[in-house]
Structure 1
Amino acid sequence: MKICKLLPVLFLLIGLTACSTSTVYVVRHAEKINETDSSGLTVAGLERSLALANRLADEEISVILTTPYRRTQQTAGPLAQQLNLPIESYPAKPVSAVVEQLEKAKGKNVLVVGHSNTILEIVRGLGAKPTKETIAPGDYDNLLIVTIKNGLFGQSVELKEETYGKPTAP
């Protein structure tokens, strides 16, 4: 008899632990000096990284992921400093590596800083469908916000596409 009374409580606890919402903010690194792997950010890029920190300051980010390149780390740097969070590294390729890492971050809000040839793939890997097919070489202001809700009856994925920071002169 006692087991019958405990079953609903047990199912409720299992259900609550299965429910979570994660929001993943995906951006390309800010404006870079040149095409070398070790290239840092331009003055405009450093300003954009501050704009990103301001935009995400109240989003309860608990994990920051970047590729091991200087420009991605500089883009995430102001937010990491403001929130007192470490910047964790992920390999630029294959994209599946960071997607797997993000799938394990259930219930957390995450900033991912990548590259023009990976950010749309990351968003697609999370189950969202961006409207853009590619990111143009001079396009640095995309903020792709993927909300992943895990519930008792499955998962839903929503994508919001924004821009951030001031447009830069060509």
Structure 2
Amino acid sequence: MKRFLLAAAVSLLTATSAMAQTVYLVRHAEKADAGADPALSEAGQARAAALAAMLADVHPGHIFTSPLQRTRLTAAPTAAFHSVTVEPISLDGGGAAHVAAIAERVRALPEDAVVLIVGHSNTVPPIARALGYAEAADMPECEYDRMTTLHLMGDTGAHGQVTRYGAPTTCP
């Protein structure tokens, strides 16, 4: 009987893991300048390459960004490696509408989808919260190395963890 219960528990855990969406959220990499729609700096290009290396074994099937080139350029090496098209999500209607649109797109995906979202310091935490990860901390403007990984469990919420990738960033 104990073996049966153990096997049933392992089976349930495996099934639950297989049914969770996995979402990776990062801020765009370092900008070349302070313009309205800047490209990436050399450090930013290196971080974008580090993101692709970090996600090499993950196989995201969907990549969402804002329409600004710094988010698209950050996602580009990962998209190229996995042969995935980057899908920019409009900023029309402001930040809250953008966050809601991304959350809606993620929720519409299959329950086993793997997603990369590249946003901004003022959108990444709200997106994580909109997806059910209430613990998402605000992100300072000087932080570029945070990766939040979420496992979305349907209506039961999200489990998340924060890791770092690429060169460490320091905030004053």
TM-score grouping bracket, smaller chain normalisation: 0.7 to 0.9
Where in structure 1 are there 5+ consecutive unaligned residues?
Answer: 1-15
2:160 matched to which residue of 1? 159
Q: Give the fraction of aligned pairs with identical amino acids, expressed as a percent.
A: 34
Q: State the 1:131 CA deviation.
A: 4.9
2:61 matched to which residue of 1? 62
Check the 8 A contact 1:62/1:85 in 2, yes or no: yes
Q: State the 1:159 CA deviation.
A: 0.5
The superposition leaves residues 55-83 of structure 1 with CA deviations (integer Å, 9 ceiling, x where unpaired) of 01111210011111110001000011111
- Partners of 1:32 and 1:68 lie apart in 2 by 15
RMSD: 1.9
1:6 matched to which residue of 2? none
Give the number of the structure whose residues are more often strand, by fraction.
Answer: 1
1:101 matched to which residue of 2? 105
The superposition leaves residues 10-43 of structure 1 with CA deviations (integer Å, 9 ceiling, x where unpaired) of xxxxxx9xx8221010000000022323201000
Structure number with greater Rg is: 1
- The count of corresponding residues between Structure 1 and Structure 2 is 149
Q: State the 1:129 CA deviation.
A: 2.3
Letter in 2 for 1:75: T
Q: Which runs of 4+ in 1 moved over 3 A?
A: none
Cα 1:46–1:149, aligned 2, differ >3 Å: closer, same or farther?
same
Q: How does 1:76-155 map to 2 (within 5 A)?
A: 76-92=75-91, 93=95, 94=97, 95-106=99-110, 107-132=112-137, 134-150=138-154, 154-155=155-156
Letter in 1 for 2:165: Y
Check the 8 A contact 2:26/2:119 in 1, yes or no: yes
- Partners of 2:85 and 2:148 lie apart in 1 by 22
TM-score relative to the length of structure 2: 0.80
- Partners of 1:167 and 1:21 lie apart in 2 by 29
TM-score relative to the length of structure 1: 0.81
Check the 8 A contact 1:23/1:109 in 2, yes or no: yes
Check the 8 A contact 2:147/2:163 in 1, yes or no: yes
